[in-house]
């Protein structure tokens, strides 16, 4: 290896020339290893490529026995090369035979080499192969040489990823570096989706790797970092951090990384080896990813996202945003893969393009998941590192029933899913047949099943699903997709359409429930420490009565001559209900004053989502015409358990005995006072949840449209009186949600009640 910095740059230039040659791929690879060996003054240079069956195959060598090419194969983890692949780490060894992982392969004749340097060939943190140089003399390679080999590996990664090596003949011909993967997550919205990956945040692919002028590249990097630091500082200094969805602690971590000298130094070193600034960012990031993805420390793994975000920001600065969307056109069979996203962002894709959703995070009651469920988008959440494991356009299957995700599925898996899709269509057909059947339990108890909705696209589902009306219309969803605050007349139009399509069936509107994680693009809100417990829903509505009154007026106009049912979210104290009602009555008076037609009937209700109401039930039930329990929020506040926090979602079930006892108390009080009580949280839409609610005495349930069929099928087979008796006895002593769940599953089995997977 020449001791100056021109060496690697010359090598890179030669590599580029070689890659551009119109020769056969094997020829090109042979020439590349020759070039590397000559440039680094090494006796051996070899490339191992990771095959679809997880074996590392020797693809080209300069110096080892040429007969070993395409013959020598190592498992990941086997020998030094396998070790480098599995750990995604560099090995720089003098006397490599002494390393515990060394495995001797006689066919290669490599026993005479006393120096070994191997680097993983990485792309987006994934190992594609291993690049090795060896020398006969005993020595350790310098940092500069290690850098140069890593840079070369990056060029090779592009060659491998480009798919050009697929044309190789011989045993390597079946090379498919994008292996099929089956990942497990949590089922969040049922259904099956087959389609192609659309990364929510498209990965930036650097195509121009090799720089002409290292100094110029260094300047570009310097100025981009300067900009990046300023923009992170700027974000931190703004008072609306929560508004842009970036919490302060994440930004603090950003700031720490942005000023991290090691990070910057590694990128500068990469530029010294001849890379462009973009390629240097990518190289260092790929390295960091590989290391963090293998970390067993969950805190460090989480930091991967921060590093990724930061590297992406830097890349965008460098490329002037040109590289952010390499695809332009999005496929119409999109399966969106994201770390996490907001409900409005999902809506932006347009329902007809999206066939499925895969989230690295996500919780069953987070709003993006609720919206996905409302739109019937099969969703699997908590799929660790999903984003890193796929590329835009990869074939993918989302099984929202079992929580499985198949990336690049083999043909047989795909065929079996195609069959399942047909089977599901058949089952849906059966549910449709139940559509006009009254929802009555096997022993004759009628139950009202309603649908939750929030967008106009939901409305056609009502009739199809066999719901008796809309039990919860989340009005804020319209606001979340709007660019500016919808004016009174616009709102009126939407509400009128909702009532028209309900065609006389009851619709329960909920007044604006914004704040918390429901962000309106046009409403600037200050950062809050605890937004879920912050200035949201009716609290915001009462403090900004203009918004609420506009909405009330729009609803009153839309419901002229019909029934208007309106409820207020997040009532915490009874006086808030009185105040909201007071505002509403002022709007009614306004209507009367101006001789507008009034609704024929008005019913005002309260959502029960905050535990404090459990101790004011008498007063509340005396005032409200109806109550609707939002089990998502009630559960979150009762258990002090953030509904969107992935780490907690498995811990506190909404079938936990304490929660069910609270629900029992509410329905008992409601019955005493003769006030109807509905459940509209996600609990009502799960077959076992609905069974529990029926056993507690609930007869009005509102759920996502796709749940109405399965829940109706369940209750048609349900001997309710029997369930009530056994359930009451079980609940009296139960201490764990698992007991409740087991009891319900066992009951369903004993009475032959079909509960579809994904609707447990
Ligand atoms: C609830 O909290 O259960 C509810 C129905 O309201 P949202 O999910 O919209 O907060
Ligand atoms: Mg709620």
SS (H, E, C) 77-143: CCHHHHHHHHHCCCEEEECHHHCCCCCCCHHHCCCCCCEEEEEEEEECCEEEEEEEEEECCCCCCCH
- What's the pLDDT at 246? 39
Beta bridge partners of 563: 601
Average pLDDT over residues 194-202: 89
pLDDT in tens, 695-710: 999 999 999 888 899 9
Could you tell me if the CB of 158 is within 6 A of ligand 1? no
What is the Å distance from ligand 1's center to 686 Cα?
A: 15
Q: Burial, 209: exposed, middle or buried (Cβ in 10 Å; 0-12, 13-18, 19+)?
A: buried
Question: Which of 470, 511, 515, 630 should be mutated for ligand 1, with most atoms under 8 A from CB?
Answer: 630
Among the listed residues 403, 489, 401, 507, the one whose alpha carbon sits nearest the alpha carbon of residue 451? 507
| Burial classification of residue 703, based on how many CB atoms lie within 10 Å of its CB (0-12 exposed, 13-18 middle, 19 or more buried) | buried
Q: 233 pLDDT exceeds 90?
A: no
Q: Would you say the CB of residue 373 lies under 6 angstroms from ligand 1?
A: no
pLDDT of 286 higher than 70:
yes
Give yes or no for residue 682 having a pLDDT over 80: yes
Task: List CB contacts of 730: < 8 A, sequence separation 6 or more.
Answer: 739, 740, 743
pLDDT tens for each residue of 558-574: 999 999 999 999 999 99
Counting ligands in written order, the one closest to the CA of 365 is: 1
> What tokens does 670 get?
């409601």
- Which residue has better confidence, 246 or 667? 667
pLDDT band at 261 (very low <50, low <70, confident <90, very high): confident
Distance 627 CA to ligand 2 centre (A): 13
Of the candidates 382, 389, 386, 387, the one whose C-alpha atom is nearest the C-alpha of residue 361 is: 382
Does the C-beta of 515 come closer than 6 Å to ligand 1? no
478-525 confidence digits (pLDDT tens): 787 666 778 999 999 999 999 999 989 999 999 999 876 677 766 767
Span from the CA of 291 to the centroid of ligand 2 (angstroms)? 40
Say if residue 757's pLDDT is above 80: no
Does the pLDDT at position 209 exceed 90? no
Burial (CB count <10 Å: 0-12, 13-18, 19+), residue 333: middle
Q: State whether the beta carbon of 475 lies less than 6 angstroms from ligand 1.
A: no
- Does ligand 1 have an atom closer than 6 angstroms to the CB of 185? no
Mean of pLDDT over the chain: 86
Q: What is the reported pTM?
A: 0.64
Q: Which atom of ligand 1 is nearest to the CA of 629?
A: 3
How would you class 289 by CB atoms within 10 Å of its CB: exposed for 0-12, middle for 13-18, buried for 19 or more? buried
Q: How far is the CA of 43 from the centre of ligand 2 (A)?
A: 68
Residue 325: predicted pLDDT:
42
Range 600-614 average pLDDT? 98
| Nearest CA, atom 1, ligand 1 | 630
For the segment 634-676, what is each residue's pLDDT rounded down to a tens digit? 999 999 998 877 778 778 999 999 999 999 999 999 999 999 9
48-75 residue pLDDT tens: 998 877 789 999 999 999 999 988 999 9
The label of the residue with tokens 């602690």 reads 249
DSSP reduced 3-state for 452:
strand
**pLDDT attached to residue 756:** 72
- Pocket-testing residue among 363, 454, 458, 474, ligand 1, by greatest number of atoms within 8 A of Cβ: 474
| Closest CA to ligand 1's atom 3 | 630
pLDDT at 175: 42
DSSP assignment letter at 486: P
- Higher per-residue pLDDT: 118 or 647: 118
User: What is the per-residue pLDDT for 174?
Assistant: 39
Q: Which residues of 339-358 are buried (b: 16+ CB within 10 A; e: fewer)?
A: bbbbbbbbbebeeeebbbbb
Q: Which of 611, 633, 693 to mutate to test the pocket of ligand 1 (most atoms within 8 A of CB)?
A: 633
196 Cα: distance to centroid of ligand 1 (angstroms) = 31
**Which of 71-80, 225-234, 454-463, 646-655 has the highest average model confidence (pLDDT)?**
71-80
Could you read off the pLDDT of 384-396 as tens digits, one per residue? 878 878 888 889 9
For residue 491, which of 555, 579, 418, 577 has the smallest C-alpha distance?
A: 555
What is the reported pLDDT for 301?
A: 65
pLDDT, residue 299, reads 67
Range of weakest confidence among 78-87, 217-226, 420-429, 610-619: 420-429
Q: Name the DSSP letter for residue 684.
A: G
User: Between 351 and 610, whose confidence is greater?
Assistant: 610
Please indicate whether residue 361, judged by its CB atom, sits closer than 6 Å to ligand 1: no
Ligand lying closest to the C-alpha of residue 368 = 1
> Is residue 244 predicted with pLDDT exceeding 50?
no
pLDDT at 683: 95
CB of 680 closer than 6 A to ligand 1? yes
Q: Is the CB of 704 under 6 A from ligand 1?
A: no
CB contact burial 591-610 (16+ within 10 A = b; e otherwise): beeeeeebbeebbbbbbbbb
What pLDDT sits at residue 402? 85
If you search the block for the tokens 């719901």, which residue do you land on? 467
Residue 370, ligand 1, Cβ within 6 A: yes
* 477, pLDDT greater than 90: no
Closest listed residue to residue 487, CA positions, set 557, 565, 588, 592: 557
DSSP H or E stretch at residue 482: none
The CA dihedral of 227, 232, 234, 235, to the nearest 10 degrees, is: 140
* Rounded distance from Cα 472 to ligand 1 centre (Å): 9
Pick the residue whose CA is nearest to atom 9 on ligand 1: 474
Tokens of 616: 């004011």
Ligand 1 centroid to Cα of residue 513, in Å, is: 9
Residues with CB under 5 A from ligand 2 (ion): 609, 630, 633
Give the atom of ligand 1 at the shortest distance from the alpha carbon of 681. 3
pLDDT digits (tens, 9 = 90+) for 85-102: 988 889 999 989 888 888
For the chain, what percent of residues have pLDDT higher than 90?
47
Contact 669, 620 (CB under 8 A): no
Closest ligand to the CA of 681: 1
Q: Is the pLDDT of residue 595 over 70?
A: yes
- Whole-number Å distance, alpha carbon 549 to ligand 1 midpoint, is 22
Q: How far is Cα 729 from Cα 572, in angstroms, rounded to an integer?
A: 32
Q: Is the distance from the beta carbon of residue 609 to the nearest atom of ligand 1 less than 6 Å?
A: yes
Q: 256-260, 324-328, 529-533, 730-734 — which one is most confidently predicted on average? A: 730-734
Query: E-assigned strands of 505-562?
Result: 507-510
Q: Tell me: pLDDT of 242 over 50.
A: no
* Tokens at 737, concatenated: 């949600």
Tell how strand 700-703 and strand 448-453 pair up: parallel
Answer whether 181's CB lies under 8 Å from 410's CB: no
Partners of residue 74 on adjacent β-strands: 56
Mutate to test the pocket of ligand 1, among 365, 458, 571 (most ligand atoms within 8 A of CB): 365
Given pLDDT bands bounded at 50, 70 and 90, which one contains residue 163?
Answer: low
pLDDT in tens, 123-138: 766 788 999 999 999 8
């Amino acid at each position: 290896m020449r001791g100056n910095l021109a060496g690697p740059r010359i090598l890179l230039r030669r590599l580029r020339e070689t890659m551009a040659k119109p020769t056969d791929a094997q020829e090109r690879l042979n020439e590349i290893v020759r070039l590397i060996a000559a440039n680094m003054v090494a006796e051996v240079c070899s490339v191992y490529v990771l095959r679809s069956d997880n074996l590392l195959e020797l693809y080209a060598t300069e110096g080892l026995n040429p007969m070993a090419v395409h013959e020598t194969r190592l498992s990941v983890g086997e020998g030094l090369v396998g070790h480098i692949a599995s750990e995604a780490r560099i090995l720089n060894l003098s006397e490599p035979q002494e390393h515990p992982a060394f495995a001797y392969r006689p066919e290669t004749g490599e026993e005479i080499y006393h120096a070994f340097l191997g680097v993983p060939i990485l792309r987006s943190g994934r190992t594609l192969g291993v690049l090795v140089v060896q020398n006969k003399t005993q020595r350790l390679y310098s940092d500069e040489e290690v850098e140069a080999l890593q840079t070369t590996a990056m060029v090779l990664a592009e060659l491998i990823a480009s798919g050009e090596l697929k044309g190789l003949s011989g045993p390597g011909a079946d090379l498919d570096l994008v292996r099929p993967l089956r990942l497990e997550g949590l089922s969040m919205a049922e259904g099956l989706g087959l389609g192609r990956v659309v990364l929510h945040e498209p990965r930036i692919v650097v195509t121009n790797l090799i720089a002409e002028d290292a100094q110029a590249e260094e300047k570009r990097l310097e100025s981009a970092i300067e900009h990046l630091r300023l923009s992170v500082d700027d974000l931190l200094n703004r008072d609306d951090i929560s508004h842009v969805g970036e919490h302060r602690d994440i930004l603090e971590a950003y700031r720490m990384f942005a000023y991290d000298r090691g990070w910057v130094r590694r990128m500068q070193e990469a530029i010294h080896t001849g890379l462009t600034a973009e390629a240097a960012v990518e190289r260092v990031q790929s390295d960091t990813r590989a290391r963090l993805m293998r970390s067993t420390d969950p805190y460090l793994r989480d930091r991967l996202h921060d590093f990724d975000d930061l590297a992406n920001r830097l890349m965008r600065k460098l490329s002037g945003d040109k590289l952010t969307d390499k695809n332009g056109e999005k496929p119409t069979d999109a399966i969106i893969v994201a770390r996490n996203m907001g409900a409005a962002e999902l809506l932006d894709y347009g329902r007809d393009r999206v066939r499925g959703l895969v989230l690295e995070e996500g919780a069953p009651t987070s709003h993006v998941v609720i919206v996905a469920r409302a739109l019937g988008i099969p969703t699997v959440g908590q799929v660790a590192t999903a984003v890193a494991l796929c590329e835009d356009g990869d074939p993918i299957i989302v099984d929202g029933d079992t929580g499985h995700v198949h990336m690049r599925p083999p043909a047989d898996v795909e065929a079996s899913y195609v069959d399942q899709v047909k089977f599901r269509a058949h089952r849906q057909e059966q549910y449709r047949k139940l559509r006009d059947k009254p929802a009555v339990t096997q022993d004759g108890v009628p139950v009202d099943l309603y649908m939750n909705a929030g967008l106009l696209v939901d409305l056609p589902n009502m009739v199809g699903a066999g719901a008796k009306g809309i039990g919860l219309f989340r009005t804020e969803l319209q606001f979340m997709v709007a660019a500016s605050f919808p004016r009174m007349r616009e709102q009126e139009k939407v509400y009128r359409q909702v009532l028209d399509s309900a065609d006389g069936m009851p619709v329960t509107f909920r007044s604006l429930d914004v704040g918390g994680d429901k962000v309106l693009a046009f409403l600037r809100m200050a950062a809050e420490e605890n937004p879920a417990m912050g200035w949201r829903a009716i609290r915001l509505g009462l403090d900004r009565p203009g918004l609420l009154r506009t909405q009330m007026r729009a609803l009153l106009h839309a419901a002229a001559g019909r029934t208007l049912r309106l409820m207020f979210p997040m009532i915490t104290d009874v006086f808030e209900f009185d105040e909201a009602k007071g505002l509403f009555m002022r709007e009614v008076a306004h209507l009367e004053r101006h001789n507008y037609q009034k609704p024929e009937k008005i019913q005002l209700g309260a959502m029960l989502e905050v535990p404090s109401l459990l101790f004011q039930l008498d007063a509340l039930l005396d005032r409200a015409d109806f109550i609707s329990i939002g089990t998502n929020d009630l559960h979150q506040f009762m258990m002090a358990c953030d509904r969107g926090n992935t780490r907690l979602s498995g811990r506190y079930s909404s079938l936990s005995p304490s929660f069910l006892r609270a629900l029992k108390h509410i329905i008992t009080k409601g019955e005493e006072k003769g006030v109807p009580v509905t459940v509209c949280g996600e609990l009502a839409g799960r077959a076992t949840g609905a069974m529990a609610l029926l056993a507690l005495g609930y007869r009005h349930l509102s759920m996502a449209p796709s749940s109405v069929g399965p829940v109706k099928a369940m209750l048609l087979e349900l001997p309710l009186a029997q369930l009530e008796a056994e359930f009451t006895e079980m609940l009296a002593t139960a201490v764990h949600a698992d007991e409740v769940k087991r009891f319900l599953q066992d009951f369903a089995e004993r009475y032959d009640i079909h509960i579809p997977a994904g609707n447990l």
